[in-house]
Amino acid sequence: MNFKRITIEEVNRLQESQATNVIDIRDPQAFAAGHMPNAVNINNQNAADYIENTDKEMPLIVVCYHGHSSQPAARYFAAQGFKDVYSMDGGFEVWKLNNPVEV
């Protein structure tokens, strides 16, 4: 399985139509300063637990700063068995301009 790239508009549409999981791979300080609603901050320490304990049938959206490093991360999660994995183009830096931010 591979991942797909998704625009922020498409993320909004997807989240209107079904439940999704969102993982944010930015550093903890950046995450603490603001993140997408319901996002989980994932790093090398907690990734294995997350993979073990998360429903792999639910769409998984991977978010970073600008939508670049989320692509290899999305590929990794797809390889771990997640069925429907998306890398969000533009990343949190674009998301935060027009979308809800949780702290």
Ligand X SMILES: O=S(=O)([O-])[S-]
Q: Which residues bind ligand X (CB under 6 A)?
A: 64-69, 91
From 6, 42, 60, 64, the catalytic residue: 64
Closer by beta carbon to ligand X, 56 or else 65: 65
C-beta separation of 36 from 65 below 8 A: no
Closer by beta carbon to ligand X, 5 or else 83: 5
Cα–Cα–Cα angle for 17, 22, 28, rounded to 5 degrees: 155
Cα separation, 30 vs 92, whole angstroms? 10
Q: How far is the CB of 45 from ligand X (least distance, A)?
A: 18
Active-site positions?
64
